[in-house]
A and B are shown apart, each in its own frame.
Chain A
């Protein structure tokens, strides 16, 4: 034993492989801990993905940051539930890291912060300690008071009910529906399955719509329900998935599209259940 032919170890040893990740990179006046740099780069791109970025942008950002910090070769790969990258430094040192994404929510302020940060450090890399601080700062969402979010959900539901042809009484009836959906969304337990949650919210919202019609507030229950549906519908994910499919990210795009279609089906199913429970006689 012991003299087993191992092509991998031959290759690494012949390239003068250095085990320690600390490198000095030409053009930068500080040394770079390659492992930490990869972690931070993956963290930036993964949080962008979690905040609603397209796959193309995620992989592009990851590649650019690693290049800026001296990586010779970057293999970046991402789908909506994963970000992975292998970097190779000029001296042959290489490292792989993956990051699992559990949930995607639209937080465009975070996306914009990280986008601006990645542009800045690609043009002019900063030491990693500073970068870590900047990442933490960029990851923090802008402060939005809870009542403002709630108010926006309420008014948006009424606006959509009005837009789809409801009158002012339907818009009025959509107010509590918007409040219910936004409140449930704000208090969503992290462990709950996203699709199951969508069904539950849809059932609750549908029942409330029927209630508003039953007490005589809404004249067109369909408009009130549409107002609620528009808050839940994954129009954004659908749009993103189409962009991804056509940009060549076939796997990512189809995963996201299936997710969007499933969500749409769950919304329809939820409201259908509400109609069955709440009495089909109203329609």
Chain B
């Protein structure tokens, strides 16, 4: 991988990490979690962008990135004794298909059937990929003990 290919990806990573961090303030996350959320979102996007760059399919690269975000969420939640959602959900923001949802809608408005189908299936693939990633972790995590609770 050449440096001039890597630099735009790194720049976008920084942009999305900062944007997600700011979005997390809107969701009223406690300020002490913000650095961890920025790192999580950046890592998630970097994984997605690199896999995408190396030609992985949309669904697979999103699934692996979402899986990384979910694992990160579970680990951070246990370290910080905070709910998992505080870390895992914001970390997935960089993958949310806001762009392809818009282009699907725009194609529908323009009456472009072919474009609508291709953009629509992209949106579905991304959503499905994220779902697969989250699922693989949640199914396992549910059976792990929750930290901090005494068994009674």
Contact = CB atoms under 8 A, between A and B. Distances in A.
Contacts of B131: 242
Contact of A283 (B25, B104, B110, B138): B110
Contacts of A155: 19, 22
A226 B98 contact: yes
A108 B30 CA distance: 7
B152 A68 contact: yes
A30 interface: no
B92 A163 contact: no
A239 B28 contact: no
Nearest to A164: B99
Size class of the contact patch on chain B? 35 or more
Contacts of B3: none
Contacts of A153: 26
A233 interface: yes
Contact of A119 (B12, B106, B138, B148): B148
B150 interface: yes
Contacts of B150: 122-123
Contact of A152 (B26, B86, B105, B142): B26
A206 B105 CA distance: 13
Contacts of A64: 149, 152
A105 to B, nearest CB: 9
Given A240-B89, A275-B109, A268 B104 contact: yes
Given A68-B152, A222-B102, A53 B26 contact: no
B22 A246 contact: no
B35 interface: no
A240 B105 contact: no
Contacts of B89: 235-236, 239-240
Contacts, number: 152
A156 B23 contact: yes
A96 interface: no
Nearest to A67: B152
Contact of B18 (A54, A123, A159): A159
Interface in B77-101: 81-83, 85-86, 88-89, 92-94, 96, 98-99, 101
Interface stretch (A84-92, A142-150, A192-200): A142-150
Interface in A43-70: 52-54, 56-57, 60, 64, 67-68
A232 B127 CA distance: 16
Contact of B93 (A109, A111, A115, A235): A235
Of A153, A243, A276, most B-chain CB atoms within 10 Å: A243
B19 A159 contact: yes
Contacts of B93: 235
Interface string B137-152: 0110010001011101
B60 interface: no
B102 A226 contact: yes
A271 interface: yes
A108 B81 contact: no
B134 interface: yes
A226 B119 CA distance: 14
Interface in B1-43: 12, 15-16, 18-19, 22-30
Given A152-B22, A229-B102, A246-B138, A109 B30 contact: yes
10 contacts: A52-B27, A64-B152, A141-B28, A149-B25, A152-B22, A153-B26, A225-B102, A268-B108, A271-B105, A283-B110
Interface of A: 52-54, 56-57, 60, 64, 67-68, 106-112, 115-116, 119, 122-123, 141-142, 144, 148-149, 152-153, 155-156, 159-160, 162-165, 182, 222, 225-226, 229-231, 233, 235-236, 238-240, 242-243, 246-247, 264, 267-268, 271-272, 275-276, 280, 283
